[in-house]
Amino acid sequence: MQNPTANKEVAIRLSGLTKTYGQGANVVHALRGVDMTIHRGEVVGLVGPSGSGKSTLLKCLGAVIEPTGGHIELGGERIFDEQAGGWQIDDLRALRRDRIGFIFQAPYLIPFLDVTDNVALLPMLAGTPNEEARQRARELIEALDVGHRVGVRVSMLSGGEQQRVAIARSLVNHPPVILADEPTAPLDSTRALAVMRILNDMAQRYGAAIIVVTHDEKIIPTFKRIYHIRDGRTEEEAGEGREITS
């Protein structure tokens, strides 16, 4: 099915991705050959019951664990090829830092850093001058409507504010790929929809490809494309693509 919002390049492509845990009698086939294609600017949903391999898939995509078979391409570059020997990139952490953004179920902000520094952390550690990094951070924070909380301690923010800061953190390096794991789980429907609106906004503005793992009924209708995952296999489906009104 053609996706009207899909544009140009493929940001993520998975081919025959498998992941097997354990040996012998305790073998667990978490992924049994997953194929997936996501374009820049797309916000795609990944839906499935627990134990279906959602987290495993995210961990493989995020270069956190090593798949057993298949290959992964990011932005056209093959970063994993089991036949070619596994990871094709030496510094996985740099990969994660520069090309992948993470949004977790909980904000997981660093409590001893303030809002700006939480967002500006990665570029600062990478060597970007503090001023520039903080400037970029502040822009994002403003864009996410948490600008009034700059300079404040993380513990003083509400859950929703923290989540928005976390989203800003994932975006500060303008990564081409963003992996979001149940970002709306703890939120009520208004907030959940607000988060989805922001994500869609980011995807459009910065051209990031966003995968959202979720089973939240409130936001599933907003996806234009959904991958269902069950028993380690995926199936593509067209979503409703409902507009999110604020």
Partner 1 sequence: MINLAARDIGHHLGRFIFTGIGLGLLIGVTLTMAGVYRGMVADGRAVIAASGADIWVVQKDTLGPWAEPSSIRDDLYRSMAGLSGVAEAANVAYLTMQVQINGKDVRVMLAGIEPGALGEPAQVIAGRPLLRSHYEAVADEKAGLLVGDVVRIRRHEYTVVGLARRATSSSGDPMIYIPLKDAQEVQFLKDNDSLIAERARTTANPAINRPGVPGLLDAVVATQTSSRNVNAVLLRLAPGYPAEEVKAEIGRWKHLTAWTRADMEEILVAKLIATSAKQIGMFLVILAIVSAAIVAFIIYTMTINKQREIAVLKLIGVRDRSIATMILQQALALGLIGYIVGQVSATLWAPFFPRHVLLESGDAVRGLVVTLVVCALASVLAIRAALRIDPADAIGG
Partner 2 sequence: MKLHLDKQWKIAIGILLLAGIGLLILRNSPLAPMTKVTTEPVERVSLQASLFGIGIVESRNNILIGPTTAGRVARVLVDQGETVAAGQVVAEIDPIDLQARLAAARHGQARADSALAAAEALGREAESRLVTAEASARRYAELREQGYVSTEAERAKGHEFRAAGAAQAASLANVAAARAEGERSRAEAEALVRQLGNMRLLAPVAGLIVARDIEPGSTAVAGQAVVRMVETDSFWLRVRIDQGRSAGLATGQTASIVLRSRPGETFTGKVARIEQLSDAVTEERIAMVAFDSLPAGLTLNEMAEVTVNMPARPPALAVPPAALVRQDGRSGVFLAIDGKAQFVPIRAGLRAASGIEVLEGLRGGEAVIVTRARPLADGDRVRVTDAGGAQS
Interface positions, 155-174, toward partner 1 (CB under 8 A): 169-170
Pattern of binders to partner 2 over 137-156, x per CB under 8 A? --------------x-----
Closest distance to partner 2 from the beta carbon of 214 (Å): 35
Burial class of residue 106 (count of CB atoms within 10 Å of its CB; 0-12, 13-18, 19+) = middle
Pattern of binders to partner 2 over 105-134, x per CB under 8 A? ---------x-x-------------xx--x
The one segment of 11-19, 25-33, 93-101, 201-209 that binds partner 1 by CB under 8 A: 93-101
Give whole-number Cα distances, 206 to 24, 181, 198, in Å.
46, 20, 12
**Residue 127 engages partner 1 in binding (rule: CB under 8 A):** yes
Query: Which of 42, 73, 117, 161 forms a contact with partner 1 (CB under 8 A)?
Result: 117
Residue 221: how many other CB atoms lie within 10 Å: 16
Say which amino acid occupies 102: F
DSSP string of 171-183, one letter each residue:
HTT--SEEEEEST
CB–CB of 182/213 below 8 Å? yes
Please report, as ranges, the residues that interact with partner 1 according to CB under 8 A.
Answer: 50, 54-55, 58-59, 62, 64-65, 93-98, 100-102, 104-105, 108, 110-113, 117, 120-122, 124-125, 127, 130, 169-170, 181
